[in-house]
């Protein structure tokens, strides 16, 4: 599903114009991004959490050049769905 499809579905459900829904969705994503860049996690009860995970320093390998590379410790954004969200997906999505 794309952002455009999300905007279309929200617009259809609420009757709000697509351009307003688009601005709202983009504002939401920007707010999540800005706060995570500041080092803050974002919690949406019943939906899930956007959290910052810490990755430890490790040694990687460049197979084509047969060399080792040190990958420094770093943070990455991650999404952890709420328990109800996970259970709903398990119940309704069939394994292919």
Give 66-91 pLDDT, tens digit per residue. 899 999 999 999 999 999 999 999 98
Cβ contact 19:7 at 8 Å: no
Cβ contact 18:10 at 8 Å: no
**pLDDT score at 38:** 96
**pLDDT score at 63:** 87
Name the band, by pLDDT with cuts 50, 70 and 90, for residue 93: confident
The first and second tokens of residue 96, run together, are 């292919």
Burial 4-21 (b: 16+ CB within 10 A, else e): eeebeebbeeeeeeeeeb
């Amino acid at each position: 599903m794309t952002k455009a499809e999300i905007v279309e579905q929200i617009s259809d459900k609420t009757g709000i114009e697509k351009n307003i829904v688009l601005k709202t969705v983009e504002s939401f994503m920007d707010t999540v991004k800005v706060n995570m860049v500041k080092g803050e996690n974002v919690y949406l009860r019943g939906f899930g959490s956007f959290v910052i995970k810490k990755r430890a320093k490790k040694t990687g390998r460049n197979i084509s050049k047969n060399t080792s590379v040190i990958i420094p410790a770093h943070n990455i954004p991650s999404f952890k769905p709420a328990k109800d969200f996970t259970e709903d997906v398990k119940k309704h999505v069939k394994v292919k």
